[in-house]
């Protein structure tokens, strides 16, 4: 896992190359909505892109993380089926439903059943390098989602320069990011992590929590501000020093969200001594995003070392899949 994290900026560069060189078979057309279907490490890129396009995309962008597609999916829907392995059973089933309903489908995968279905049905299928844990391939999948949206003119090409700048920033600050990740891991040691962010980085907050789940083998949760101020904040009456709050912050957080974060901190401080603010660096959405992704990936890795666990293994998920295969 350590080498995969080290290679993250190179992964982003390769992802841009894959996206820029892919030639779509499906012509441009108009859609009423876009649905990305995918789970886990293959679906989180969709959640992040959903945050990115929320203020600019003129049709709904929904992320589906289930076996079944929403009832509205039909001929006027673009469905992006994203499964790194190509064998995620929920995504395979959702893809089959999309075909039955005559939706336009684009696949993003490294192979497996998804690639087979794409070939059988003459679908666009962007192939990714295989053989890695899906959660270590966020750069590959997320960037391809953006290129799909670009092809169908839902977004402009600004993201390409943003990602190139993010790569330069990560490379320049590589040692600082790894050190900051190690320090965050030390602060999380022995604690239950609670990850909060502004709504524009809600997908990132989920990503951080998932990395701590899978790499560090710890439970925790994530939520976004302002939504959590209307419910979860009251739950802090049951808080304790067992919890460690991680606040993902951006210089571009909405001013009312910034105010809420400061007030929230004063509340958290009554119940826990561990409140860590992780501040994004960069001049664009994707510079800030990938800066925080890389820093917190390091945190999840170094927390696994502190806990004496293997960051790569996911035996419990393998067991689950094995049991499901018997049914």
Which residue, 197, 249, 250, is CA-closest to 225?
Answer: 197
Q: Is the pLDDT of residue 205 over 80?
A: yes
Coil/strand/helix, residue 137: helix
Query: In the listed set 88, 121, 156, which residue is the last one of a domain according to the structure?
Result: 156
Q: What is the pLDDT of residues 2-33, one digit of tens each?
A: 999 989 999 999 999 999 999 999 998 899 99
Q: How many independent structural domains does the chain possess?
A: 2
Q: Is the pLDDT of residue 321 over 90?
A: no
Same domain? For 211 and 128 the reply is no
CATH of the domain at 140: 3.40.50.10490
Q: Which helix (H) or strand (E) holds 235?
A: helix 232-235
Q: How far apart are CA 185 and CA 20, in angstroms?
A: 36
Same domain? For 111 and 48 the reply is yes
> Looking at the domain assignment, is residue 315 inside a domain?
no
Q: State the pLDDT at residue 314.
A: 83
Q: State the pLDDT at residue 320.
A: 78
Q: In which band, very low, low, confident or very high, does the pLDDT at 159 lie, cut at 50, 70 and 90? A: very high
Coil/strand/helix, residue 280: coil
Average pLDDT over residues 151-162: 97
Q: In which band, very low, low, confident or very high, does the pLDDT at 252 lie, cut at 50, 70 and 90? A: very high
Q: Quick check: is 214 catalytic?
A: yes
Same domain? For 46 and 115 the reply is yes
Same domain? For 94 and 177 the reply is no
Out of 25, 28, 120, 230, the active site residue is 230
Cβ-count burial 110-148 (b if 16+ within 10 Å, e if not): bbbbbbebbeeeebbbbbbeeebbbbbbbbbbbbbbbbb
Same domain? For 139 and 36 the reply is yes
Same domain? For 227 and 139 the reply is no
> Looking at the domain assignment, is residue 151 inside a domain?
yes
> Looking at the domain assignment, is residue 177 inside a domain?
yes
Same domain? For 65 and 114 the reply is yes
> Looking at the domain assignment, is residue 324 inside a domain?
no
Q: How many residues appear in the chain?
A: 327
Q: Is the pLDDT of residue 326 over 90?
A: no
> Looking at the domain assignment, is residue 166 inside a domain?
no
Q: What is the pLDDT of residues 99-139, one digit of tens each?
A: 999 999 999 999 999 999 999 999 999 999 998 998 999 99
Q: State the pLDDT at residue 220.
A: 97
Q: State the pLDDT at residue 275.
A: 98
Q: State the pLDDT at residue 316.
A: 84
Report field, pTM of the whole predicted structure over 0.85: yes
Q: How far apart are CA 80 and CA 270, in angstroms?
A: 45
- DSSP assignment string, 107-129: EEESSHHHHHHHHHTT-EEEE--
Q: Is the pLDDT of residue 143 over 80?
A: yes
Q: Quick check: is 102 catalytic?
A: no
Distances from the Cα of 228 to the Cα of 99, 222, 244, 304, angstroms: 38, 10, 16, 28
Terminal C-alpha separation, the chain: 32
Q: Are strands 192-198 and 221-225 parallel, antiparallel or unpaired?
A: parallel
> Looking at the domain assignment, is residue 326 inside a domain?
no
Q: What percent of the chain has pLDDT over 70?
A: 100
Strand ranges inside 1-129, DSSP E: 33-37, 61-64, 77-83, 104-109, 124-127
User: What is the overall mean pLDDT for the chain?
Assistant: 96
Q: Quick check: is 176 catalytic?
A: no
Same domain? For 84 and 202 the reply is no
Out of 214, 217, 287, 288, the active site residue is 214
Same domain? For 6 and 150 the reply is yes
Q: Is the pLDDT of residue 76 over 80?
A: yes
Rg, the chain, Cα only: 20
Same domain? For 127 and 264 the reply is no
Q: Which structural domain range is residue 248 located in?
A: 172-307
Same domain? For 97 and 37 the reply is yes
Q: In which band, very low, low, confident or very high, does the pLDDT at 41 lie, cut at 50, 70 and 90? A: very high
Q: How far apart are CA 163 and CA 108, in angstroms?
A: 19
> Looking at the domain assignment, is residue 23 inside a domain?
yes
Number of helices and strands in the chain (H, E): 13, 9
Residue carrying structure tokens 């993201």: 159
Cβ-count burial 231-252 (b if 16+ within 10 Å, e if not): eebeebeeeeeebbbbbbbbee
> Looking at the domain assignment, is residue 232 inside a domain?
yes
Same domain? For 119 and 62 the reply is yes
Q: State the pLDDT at residue 315.
A: 82
Q: In which band, very low, low, confident or very high, does the pLDDT at 161 lie, cut at 50, 70 and 90? A: very high
Q: State the pLDDT at residue 319.
A: 79
Distances from the Cα of 15 to the Cα of 153, 191, 248, angstroms: 19, 35, 25
Q: What is the pLDDT of residues 253-286, one digit of tens each?
A: 999 999 999 999 999 999 999 999 999 999 999 9
Contact between residue 28 and residue 1 where contact means Cβ atoms under 8 Å apart: no
């Amino acid at each position: 896992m350590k080498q995969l994290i080290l290679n993250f900026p190179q992964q982003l560069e390769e992802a841009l190359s894959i996206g820029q060189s892919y030639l779509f078979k499906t012509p441009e057309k108009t859609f009423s909505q876009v649905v990305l279907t995918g789970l886990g490490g293959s679906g989180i890129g969709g959640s992040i892109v959903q945050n990115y396009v929320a203020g600019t995309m003129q049709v709904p962008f929904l992320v589906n993380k289930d076996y079944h597609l929403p009832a509205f999916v039909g001929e006027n829907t673009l469905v992006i089926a994203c499964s790194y392995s190509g064998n995620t059973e929920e995504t395979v089933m959702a893809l089959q439903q999309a075909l039955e309903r005559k939706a336009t489908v684009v696949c993003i995968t490294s192979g497996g059943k998804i690639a087979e279905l794409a070939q059988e049905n003459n679908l666009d299928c962007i192939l990714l390098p295989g053989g890695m844990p899906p959660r270590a391939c966020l750069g590959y999948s997320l960037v391809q989602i953006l290129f799909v949206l670009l092809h169908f003119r839902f977004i402009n090409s600004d993201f390409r320069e943003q990602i190139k700048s993010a790569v330069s920033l990560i490379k320049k600050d590589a040692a600082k990011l790894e050190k900051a990740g190690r320090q965050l891991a030390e602060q999380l040691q022995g604690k239950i992590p609670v990850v909060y962010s502004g709504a524009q980085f809600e997908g990132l907050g989920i990503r951080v929590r998932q990395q701590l789940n899978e790499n560090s083998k710890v439970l925790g949760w994530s939520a976004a501000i302002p939504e959590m101020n209307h419910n979860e904040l009251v739950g802090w009456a049951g808080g304790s020093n067992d919890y460690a709050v991680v606040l993902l912050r951006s210089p571009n957080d909405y001013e009312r969200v910034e105010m809420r974060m400061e007030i929230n901190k004063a509340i958290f401080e009554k119940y826990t001594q561990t409140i860590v603010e992780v501040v994004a660096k960069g001049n664009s959405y994707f510079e800030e995003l990938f800066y925080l992704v890389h820093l917190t990936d390091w945190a999840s890795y170094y927390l696994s070392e502190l806990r004496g666990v293997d960051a790569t293994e996911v035996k419990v998920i393998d067991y689950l899949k094995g049991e499901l295969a018997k049914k």
